[in-house]
Amino acid sequence: MKCNKKKLNGLVVVLIKLLEFSFEKFRSVKEMISLPIHEISILIGQNGGGKTTTLDALNLFLEIHNTIDIVDINSNVNSENLEVIFSSKFQITDEEKEFFRKYNPSLDNDYVTIYKKFKISDTELYYFIYALGTDTDLDNLDLGRYKEPYKKLCDKYEIDLSSSETVSSMEDKLKIKREEFPSDKQIEKRISIKEIKGFLPKFILLSSEESPDPKKEMIKILTNTLKEKVEELNIEKEVSKITTVVLNICNQKIEEANVIIKRYCKDIERIEINPEYNALQGLNLNDFSIIKKSGDKVRFESEATGKRKQIMLGIYEWSNLQITEELNENFLIAFDEPDLHFDYFQISNLLNILNDFSKKDNVQVLIATHSIKLIDNFPPNQIINFNLNNNDETEILYITDEDYEQIGGFLKDLSFSIGFRSAFLFFEKIFVIVEGESEYKAFPILFELINDKTHFEAGILFINAESNIQALKFAQFLRNNKKRVILIVDKDSKKRKEFKEDGLRKLGFQQGTDFFLVGKEPDSEGEFEGEFTSEQWATMLNNKYPKANDNDWNPQEIDNVRAGAKISKGILELIETECIEQVSKPDLVKELSKSIKNKDEISENLKSIILHLNSIANSD
C-alpha cells in the first residue's frame, strides 16, 4: 500500500496501512481479541459470532467522537467505573516516527500502536500511545491555551511564578520540574483529537441489508470524497458558492452512477435523485426513483429484492470510482454481507469490484460474508473465522502469515490437484491426511462402504499430502491452527525418526488416537496395498485387468509378490508383463477398493481406522 502524505503541525505525515486491530468488552467480545488487517480481510463464521460487531468496533475507533453505548458493553463485564480500550497497530515510516516521537521519544519501530480509551461512567474518551514517563501529572503538559491549569500544576509542585508568566514559560518550568522524577514507568501519552484526526484513515461501512438503502451508501461516499473540494473554499465568505459547487459535483456523480447501473440493469433508463446541501447540516439525497425504459417511474423501495441488489452492485462499482488516490486520504472500506441475495454471476462481478478497491494504494477492504465463492477467492491467511464459545463469547481463528508462508505453496498445489479451497480450512470438521494418491482415492470408497454415508456427509476431508514427511508437516500446520487432524501413513514410515513413537509424541500425535499406520509388518507389505488379501487382488485383476493370454490371475502369484519387493511395485510389474492395458498404482488401488462389496471383507486394521474416523465426526 503506497503512502499518502499530508501535513500535521508542519511535519509531513505519511499515512500507511492498518496492520492489526484489537478490542474488548464490546457486545459478544469479552476478552481482548486481535485480528490482522490485510489489503483485503475476509470475516467469516456463524451468525452472531462477531463479524458485524468487529466492523462496528472499528467504526468506534476510527470515528473521532464516537463513544460506546452502555447497552453495547459485554453482559459478563461489570460496567461500574469501567474503562474499555480499543487499539490499532499502524505501519509507519521515518517521517511518521518524527511525529510520534514527541509523544514517545524512544520510538524506533516501523509501527506504532494507537489506543482509544472509553471511560463509560463519565463518557470520557481519548487517544494515547504508551511511552516511558514519570507516572505523574507532569507527563501530560498539553493543558490548553489558558493559564489557569498550568498555574495550578505549578502551585502543586511549588514552582515560583512571576506576575508576567505566560503559558509557554509555565510549561517550560513544568518540564524542568519533570526532569527531577525518574522516567521509568509505562504511561499513557495522550494525543490531541485535532492531531489524531489527521492521522486515522476514513472508515466507510457499506452495508448490504435485507432492504438496502442506496441513498445512504451514496451519501457516505460523497461526504468523504467531497470533503477536500469543500475545504478549498472559504466557508465563511462563500457559503452560496460552496452549495453550488457541491450540488454540481453531486449531479455529475449521479450521472456517472447512472451509466454504471444501466450496465447491471438493462431495463432501467436512469435513476433520479435530488441532492440537497446545507453548509451547516451537510448533504442529503431526496427521493430515489427509477425510470424504466418503458417510461414508467417507480420508487427504489418498490422494486423486487433481486433488482434492488443489482442496483446496489452498480452503486458499489460507482463507489470504487469515487475513492481515488488523489483524495489525499486513506480509507478503510467495510462491506457487511455484500453478497446477500446475489446469484453466482453477480458475486463474480462483486468480486471484481472488491479486488479493484483493494488495488488502490490508499484503500484497505474488510468483507463480512457467508459466501463460499467469495471466501474461496482469497488465500487462507486473509480469512478470519468468528465463532461463539460455550459462554456465547466471540473467539477468532486465523492462519498467520508466517504459517501460510511455510505451507502456502503446498495449499496451492492442493487446489490444482484436488480442488482444495480456502473454505475447507475453516468449515470442515475433520482433516484426514494421507501420504499418497492411492490412499486418497481408496479411503472415501471404503468409508462409504463401512458407514453407509459419504465422508462429505460426515464432515471429513481427505487430503493427499503426497509423501509421509509432507503429510506430517501439513498435519502439524492444521493442528497449530486448532483443527482436528488424523494422520495416516504407511507402516514402513516407522523407519524414519519423525514417525517413531517418541518423535510423534513430541509433535502431539498419539498412535491409535490421531495417528495410524496402514500395511503389514513385512517390508514388502508395509504399505497401504498390503492391507488387501491375495484373493482380493486376484479377483479384481481378473475382472479389470485380464491377462493377454486369457489365463486367470491366481492368489499364488500375489503371494509370490509379497515375498519379494513392495507389493504395489510387484503387482504393477506383473500387469506390465501379462496385460495389454497398463494402469497407475492409484487407479489400481481405486479399482481394488471398488471391487469389495461387503464391509466384512475389509481388513480389521482399515475397518477400525474408518470406524474411528466416523466416531470422531459424530462426536464433534
Which residue, among 602, 430, 418, 411, has the nearest Cα to 513 in the 3D structure?
430
Count of domains for the chain: 3
Average pLDDT on 474-495 reads 83
Q: What's the maximum distance between 2 C-alpha atoms anywhere in the chain?
A: 120
E strands, 192-246, are 202-207
470 with 357, same domain: the answer is: no
Cell numbers found for residue 494: 516407522
- The half-sphere exposure of 450 on its side-chain side, counting CA atoms within 13 A, is 25
Specify the pLDDT at position 34. Answer: 96
**Stretch 501-523: mean pLDDT:** 82
pLDDT value at position 358?
Answer: 86
In whole angstroms, what is the distance from residue 408 CA to residue 400 CA? 11
pLDDT of residue 232: 59
Residues 539, 477: one domain? yes
pLDDT of amino acid 607:
96
Proportion of the chain above pLDDT 90, given as a percent:
34
550 in a structural domain = yes
Mean pLDDT of 52-58: 94
272-316 pLDDT tens trace: 888 888 766 677 887 788 889 888 988 888 887 778 888 888 888
User: Higher confidence at residue 56 or residue 310?
Assistant: 56
Q: Which domain holds residue 207?
A: 202-328+330-378
Tell me what percent of the residues of the chain surpass a pLDDT of 70: 92
Q: Identify the pLDDT of residue 307.
A: 81
Chain centroid, CA 484 distance in Å: 20
Q: What is the mean pLDDT of the chain?
A: 85
Annotate 10-28 with b (16+ C-beta within 10 A) or e (fewer).
eeebbbbbbbebbbbbbbb
> Given pLDDT bands bounded at 50, 70 and 90, which one contains residue 229?
low
Cα 476 vs. chain centroid, distance in angstroms? 21
Q: Tell me the range of 7-11, 33-37, 130-134 where mean pLDDT is highest.
A: 33-37
The answer as to whether 295 is a domain residue is: yes
Under a CB-based contact definition with an 8 Å cutoff, are residues 454 and 445 in contact? no
Same domain as 250, residue 173: no
Strand 124-133 versus strand 185-191 pairing type: antiparallel
d(CA 509, CA 480): 12
pLDDT of residue 52: 92
Residue 88 pLDDT grade (very low, low, confident, very high; cuts 50, 70, 90) = very high
Residue 474 has pLDDT above 90, yes or no: no
Do 301 and 168 share a structural domain? no
Residue 540 belongs to a domain: yes
Q: Are residues 520 and 592 in the same domain?
A: yes
Q: How far apart are CA 369 and CA 44, in angstroms?
A: 6
- Per DSSP, the residues of 214-244 read HHHHHHHHHHHHHHHHHHTS-TTT-HHHHHH
| 419 pLDDT more than 80 | no
pLDDT given for residue 139 in this prediction:
85
pLDDT, position 554: 93
**Boundary-marking domain end, from 357, 378, 399:** 378
Rounded CA separation 339/335 (Å): 9
Instruction: Give the per-residue pLDDT at 192.
Output: 82
**Residue 616, helix vs strand vs coil:** helix
Q: Are residues 441 and 545 in the same domain?
A: yes
Number of helices (H), then strands (E), belonging to the chain: the values are 21, 21
What would the mean pLDDT of 327-352 be, rounded to a whole number?
85
Judge if 340 and 278 occupy the same domain. Answer: yes
Same domain, 225 and 338: yes
174 & 228 share domain: no
Q: Are residues 373 and 444 in the same domain?
A: no
Query: Is residue 4 over pLDDT 60?
Result: no
| Structure confidence at residue 603 (pLDDT) | 95
pLDDT score at 237: 52
**Is 36 contained in some domain?**
no
Predicted confidence (pLDDT) per residue in 422-464, tens digit: 888 888 889 998 888 899 999 999 999 999 999 988 889 898 8
Q: Check residue 238 and give its pLDDT.
A: 63
According to the model, what pLDDT value does residue 562 have?
85
In a domain, 450, yes or no: yes
Residue 103, pLDDT score: 85
pLDDT at 268 over 80: yes
pLDDT of residue 1: 47
Region 134-146: mean pLDDT is 85
User: Per the domain annotation, does 259 fall within a domain?
Assistant: yes
CA distance 257 to 318: 6
CATH, residue 297: 3.40.50.300
Lowest mean pLDDT: which of 288-302, 386-400, 493-507, 559-573? 493-507
Q: Which residue in the block uniquely carries the three cell numbers 457467508?
A: 370
Residue 186 lies in a domain: no
The answer to whether residue 572 sits within a structural domain is yes
- Give the three cell numbers for residue 434: 494421507
Task: Give the CA distances from residue 179 to residues 175, 249, 501, in Å, rounded to whole numbers and listed in that order.
Answer: 7, 55, 62
The residues with which 387 forms a beta bridge, in sequence order, are 395
Task: Report yes or no: 531 and 520 within 8 Å, Cβ to Cβ.
Answer: yes
489 with 436, same domain: the answer is: yes
432 with 560, same domain: the answer is yes
Taking 70 as the threshold, does the pLDDT of residue 3 lie above it?
no
How large is the average pLDDT for residues 188-193?
86
